[in-house]
Amino acid sequence: MNIVTPQAYAREIAAEAVPGLPADFRWGVATAAYQIEGAAAEDGRTPSIWDTYCRVPGMVVRGENGDAACDHYHRMPEDVRLIADLGVDTYRFSLAWPRIQPGGRGPVNERGLDFYKRLVDELEARGITPWITLYHWDLPQELEDAGGWPARDTAYRFAEYAALAHDALGDRVEHWTTLNEPWCSAMLGYAYGNQAPGRKNFGDAIRAVHHLLLGHGLASRHLRETAATRGDALELGITLNLGTATPETGSHEDAEACRRADGMGRRLYLDPLVKGAYPEDVVADLARQNAELPVQDGDLAVISTPIDVLGVNFYRGTLFSGVTQEGSPVDADGLPVTRGVERDLPRTAMDWEITPTALTDLLVGLEKDYGVPTVVTENGAAFDDSVSADGQIHDAGRTTYLADHIAAVAAARARGADVRGYFAWSLMDNFEWSYGYDKRFGIVRVDYDTQERTLKDSAKWYRDTIRLTRTGTRTGTGDSESDGG
């Protein structure tokens, strides 16, 4: 297969206003606590499942971990200044559960909570809106030892933690996301074992799906009730990692493969969240695999507590086939096949196909099927960029990627999708989970030896594009690649 290289994909792109994005369109950058904070054992923080998983030989590239990460815990004011310099209006970040409520039970840890109070102070002082994610994968290890997300009690523990965090910050922070990518937490963590906690049990993963959604619903109810009682402004949501499923051919087998992929990746989460019921065809598919969602009376009413916004994390669309490489429509166990098909498309350093038009299709489809306003809460690309002889990072591939996907958002709005914002992933290079520090998603480079931050060309382009779009100016001054980081 002739795979197009990132170098062939990259184009020289000048910053200019993006037609179709309104003045109140939200521009942001995003991070996650375990990936950037470091200070893993400071101020009362206890281990999360990722601290434990990183110590398992062979699970993370070079055995790396988030103990130091980007040292954001100590460099937070500097990083907020950097965010402000980018001209974004919103910073999406996650709270570390084991920092705020060590062990996942009991009272709040004031020393840990103080860090986030100071962060909100810094953001407010610079006119940046904080957008909080309550859970970005760092389950306290003690709760995993007690059963983790496959255990129903974890949903109640999450709601308790969410209440502690919101009670402390809800009078100052309006935008709250309960969970980041529950598909990853459930499937990668409990079915496939290639993310924390590293279990491989499909039945456990499906139980985790339900309990993650139940935790979302329980937390959402508390946040709504508290905000109403206190008179706090609240925009409540959840973030899902979503893609598109396109059939390779017009065959029945390929159509079925897409139905199953869409069912497990999109409808299994959005149907109960928005419609108050799990999709019947997916429940039947799960039964064929001897897996069952552990629904109890009243659960779906809790899960479908109304949300104000749906966070969409998008990285790629996928072409699916319903036959094996040998031509069979079933696998060795007699179950229908759902197989991703590789295409002659440019790829990122993660070996992910670059498919910006799929983002347009996804956002338009979400509007049609669910009618919930959306924000692209993550979109970005890892490339093997490096420091050039001039001391700069000329990451034309990433700039092209951002430009194409922001244009895809504008195209979705033109087709009627209520998309209200775009957050680049990520603010800075960071600990990329099982890949350790091997993959760089940041628009800001981090030298992990010195912790020096340097704006990449993509950051300068993003900054200038935001400014020009806000002001309605057609093109920039041409200086986006000349100023230093």
Residue with tokens 């290890």: 141
Q: How confident is the model at residue 334 (pLDDT cuts 50, 70, 90)?
A: confident
Q: How confident is the model at residue 5 (pLDDT cuts 50, 70, 90)?
A: low
- Spatial separation of the C-alpha atoms in residues 83 and 88, rounded to whole Å: 7
pLDDT in tens, 30-72: 999 999 999 999 999 999 999 999 999 999 999 999 999 999 9
pLDDT of residue 480: 40
Per-residue pLDDT at 176 exceeds 60: yes
Residue with tokens 């809790």: 302
Per-residue pLDDT at 2 exceeds 50: no
Per-residue pLDDT at 471 exceeds 60: yes
Per-residue pLDDT at 399 exceeds 60: yes
Q: How many CB atoms lie within 10 A of CB 357?
A: 14
Determine the number of helices (DSSP H) and then strands (DSSP E) in the chain. Answer: 17, 13
Per-residue pLDDT at 478 exceeds 90: no
Q: What integer is the mean pLDDT of 232-238?
A: 98
Q: How confident is the model at residue 420 (pLDDT cuts 50, 70, 90)?
A: very high
Which DSSP letter does residue 177 get? Answer: E
Q: How many CB atoms lie within 10 A of CB 312?
A: 24
DSSP H or E segment with residue 238: strand 235-241
pLDDT in tens, 434-446: 999 999 999 999 9
Which DSSP letter does residue 146 get? Answer: T
- 182, 217 Cβ separation under 8 angstroms: no
Rounded to 10 degrees, the C-alpha dihedral 321/324/329/330 comes to -120
**Which residues make beta-bridge pairs with 246?**
319
Q: What is the mean pLDDT of the chain?
A: 95
| Residue numbers annotated as active site | 181, 378
Q: How confident is the model at residue 474 (pLDDT cuts 50, 70, 90)?
A: low
Q: What is the largest CA-CA distance in the chain?
A: 64
- Closest by CA to 26, choosing from 424, 414, 451, 301, is 424
pLDDT of residue 1: 45
What pTM does this model have? 0.97
pLDDT of residue 238: 99
Helix, strand, coil shares, percent, the chain, to 5: 40, 15, 45
Q: Over pLDDT 90: what percentage of the chain?
A: 93
Q: What integer is the mean pLDDT of 150-176?
A: 98
pLDDT in tens, 284-326: 999 999 999 999 999 999 999 999 999 999 999 999 999 998 8
pLDDT in tens, 92-143: 999 999 999 999 999 999 999 999 999 999 999 999 999 999 999 999 999 9
Query: Going along 303-373, which residue ranges are E strands?
Result: 309-313, 318-321, 339-341
Residue with tokens 């479908």: 304
- Could you tell me the two tokens for 117? 């109070």
- Spatial separation of the C-alpha atoms in residues 290 and 438, rounded to whole Å: 37
